[in-house]
């Protein structure tokens, strides 16, 4: 998490306290000042507010889930589902109002829908707070998101269907608040406490849960220094005051606009502003960070290793006790390492420019590696290729060279091989590689159970791209490694 937002610093707790004091003062003025309107009859404006709230809620759901897909933070998924729930409820109420499915004056169904949606959303806000440190791996995000979203969707479908079908029979009828005012479509002012006990309890409990969520996100923002959490803390504070006005404002019909609606719209405005201002930057920062990590890994595994070997050769050249023949061999090895390092740098530049390499360039890179490895380790390496592909992702070439280096190194270190055969075959969508040596072989069951760095490195590289790895070996009869690598990255789901 970053502590930077347009050059500003994250607000200190005293600023949160000031915000709460301002909102509390506005609420007291609205509820206690005689004649101050808390709700007014305006059907067109009321429908516009409901539609806008629904559309913004679904937009926040889409942006948050997209952010979860890129960054992998579980918090984004749960918060997105919470706002999606609120947006779904608003749009459903809009549809019911247009369909005139509730008789005039009997809006218990709509009241229950709003209550149910607010409870589900509050639970999701708290669940996101509980999982703030959880980051889902790239390959598992789709399955994780589908599971959580599917569970929430099932709850919403079952709950809303039950409410719509049961209607006024779901719970005891709600006594109308200020019946005389509602009958003449008058402006409502002051608190309306003529409500059923169960309604006050549910609204009050939801209000307390929102209070806990707002305080939790405020505390988290102070610890993490993340402006995204700051925006959530401010929005949840506004939603808390919206729920407070709903609690004290009584049962306001759907064709009324109220102070609770104003606080809700203010919460949405805060989140939309933040996401528009920072969403693109967040994704760009994370993407550039991932690219930096990839480049550093490739430079470490390739160019840095060759330069390290070159440094060893130069040290040997400066040793006085070495014979002229050894000096000549060291000089030849150093020259080849320089050529290999230049080729590696050229490949890195090509990958940065286009991200792809031709099949011919790929085969040449593998052949150069085979020659270099054979020269440096005094082992015979034979390369054979079959088929071809128009172009290859530069990452595929990098993965093949790293896997090949690890496999050949294992053949020498563990099998004492003197001959290694490498076969490459390209078919539509796949690249297959076989590395066979004449070494001592190994026990297959022990190798598969091994936690060695080499085997684990190859496995992890293949797993990231959706590839497969298979061994075939018998002690005393050499070993063969089979690799299948998709030319297009495949997403692997973890259950």
Residue in 113, 144, 117, 146 with CA at minimum distance from that of residue 131: 144
Interatomic CA distance for residues 330 and 312, integer angstroms = 9
Q: ∠ CA(411), CA(388), CA(374), 5° rounding? A: 25
* Ramachandran region, residue 271 (left: φ > 0; alpha: ψ -120 to 50; beta: rest): alpha
- Secondary structure tally for the chain: helices H, strands E: 15, 10
Q: Report the run of H or E that residue 420 belongs to, with start and end.
A: strand 419-427
CA atoms within 13 A on the CB side of 95: 10
CA separation for the pair 103, 107 (Å, rounded): 7
pLDDT in tens, 142-151: 899 999 999 9
Per-residue pLDDT tens over the stretch 35-62: 777 777 788 888 888 888 888 888 889 8
Grouping H, G, I as helix, E, B as strand and the rest as coil, residue 226 is coil
Q: Which overall architecture, per CATH, does domain 354-486 show? A: 2-Layer Sandwich (3.30)
Phi, psi angles (nearest 5°) of residue 487:
-70, -20
Q: How far apart are alpha carbons 480 and 79 in whole angstroms?
A: 50
Task: Give the bridge partners for 472, in sequence order.
Answer: 480
**Per-residue pLDDT tens over the stretch 371-423:** 878 887 788 999 999 888 777 877 788 788 878 888 888 888 778 889 999 99
| Per-residue pLDDT, 459 | 75
CA distance 403 to 233: 47
User: What is the percent of the chain where pLDDT is above 70?
Assistant: 71
Helix locations, 39-173, DSSP H: 43-71, 74-99, 108-130, 141-166
| pLDDT value for 153 | 93
185-230 pLDDT per residue, tens: 467 766 666 667 777 888 888 889 999 998 888 888 877 777 778 8
Cα separation, 245 vs 254, in Å, equals: 15
Please determine whether the domains at 13-290 and 354-486 fall in the same fold group of CATH: no
Q: Where are the domains of the chain?
A: 13-290, 354-486
Cα gap 457→436, rounded to integer Å: 19
Q: CA-CA distance, 343 to 366, in Å (whole number)?
A: 11
Rounded CA-CA distance 178/173 in Å is 15
Query: Cα–Cα distance between 340 and 342 in angstroms, integer?
Result: 5
Calpha distance 23→224 (Å, rounded)? 25
Direct distance between the N- and C-terminal alpha carbons of the chain, in angstroms, rounded to an integer: 27
Length of the chain: 495
Say how far apart CA 390 and CA 98 lie, in whole Å: 57
Would you say 277 and 6 are in contact if contact means Cβ atoms under 8 Å apart? yes
Q: Which CATH number is 13-290's, of 3.90.105, 1.20.920, 3.40.1620, 1.20.1070?
A: 1.20.1070
Give per-residue pLDDT as tens, 314-350.
Answer: 777 667 777 777 777 777 677 666 766 666 666 565 5
The pLDDT of residue 184 is above 60: no
CA distance 220 to 224: 6
């Amino acid at each position: 998490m970053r502590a930077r937002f347009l050059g500003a610093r994250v607000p200190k707790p005293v600023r949160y306290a000031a915000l709460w004091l301002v909102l509390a003062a506005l609420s007291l003025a609205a509820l206690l000042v005689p004649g101050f309107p808390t709700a007014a009859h305006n059907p067109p404006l009321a429908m516009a507010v409901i539609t806008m709230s629904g559309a913004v809620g679904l937009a926040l759901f889409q942006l948050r889930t997209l952010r979860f897909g890129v960054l992998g933070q579980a918090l984004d998924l749960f918060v997105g589902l919470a706002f999606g729930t609120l947006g779904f409820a608003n749009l459903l109420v809009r549809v019911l109002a247009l369909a005139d499915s509730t008789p005039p004056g009997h809006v218990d169904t709509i009241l229950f829908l709003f209550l149910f949606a607010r409870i589900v959303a509050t639970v999701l806000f708290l669940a996101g707070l509980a999982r703030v440190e959880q980051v889902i791996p790239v390959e598992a995000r789709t399955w994780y998101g589908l599971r959580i979203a599917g569970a929430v969707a099932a709850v919403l479908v079952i709950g809303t269907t039950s409410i719509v079908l049961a209607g006024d029979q779901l719970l005891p009828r709600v006594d109308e608040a200020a019946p005389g005012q509602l009958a003449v479509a008058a402006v409502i002012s002051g608190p309306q406490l003529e409500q059923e006990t169960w309604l006050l309890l549910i609204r009050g409990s939801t209000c307390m849960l929102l209070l806990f969520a707002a305080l939790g996100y405020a505390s988290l923002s102070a610890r993490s220094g993340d402006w995204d959490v700051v925006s959530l803390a401010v929005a949840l504070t506004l939603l808390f005051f919206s729920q407070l006005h709903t609690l004290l404002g009584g049962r306001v019909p759907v064709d009324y606009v109220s102070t609770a609606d104003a606080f809700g719209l203010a919460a949405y405005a805060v989140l939309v502003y933040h996401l528009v201002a920072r969403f693109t930057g967040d994704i760009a920062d994370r993407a550039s960070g991932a690219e930096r990590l990839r480049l550093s890994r490739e430079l470490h595994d390739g160019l840095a290793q060759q330069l390290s070997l070159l440094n060893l050769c130069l040290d040997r050249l400066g040793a006085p006790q070495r014979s002229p023949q050894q000096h000549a061999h060291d000089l030849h090895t150093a020259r080849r390492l320089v050529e290999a390092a230049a080729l590696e740098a050229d490949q890195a530049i090509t990958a940065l420019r286009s991200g792809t390499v031709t099949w011919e360039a790929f085969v040449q890179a593998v052949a150069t590696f085979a020659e270099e490895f054979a020269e440096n380790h005094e082992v015979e390496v034979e390369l054979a290729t079959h088929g071809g592909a128009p172009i290859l992702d530069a990452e595929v070439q990098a993965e093949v060279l790293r896997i090949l280096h690890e496999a050949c190194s294992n053949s020498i270190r563990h099998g004492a091989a003197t001959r290694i055969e490498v076969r490459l075959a390209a078919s539509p969508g796949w690249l297959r590689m076989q590395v066979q040596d004449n070494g001592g072989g190994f026990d297959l069951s022990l190798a598969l159970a091994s936690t060695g760095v080499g085997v684990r490195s190859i496995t992890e590289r293949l797993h990231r791209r959706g590839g497969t790895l298979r061994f075939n070996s018998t002690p005393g009869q050499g070993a063969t490694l089979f690799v299948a690598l998709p030319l297009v990255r495949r997403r692997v789901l973890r259950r």
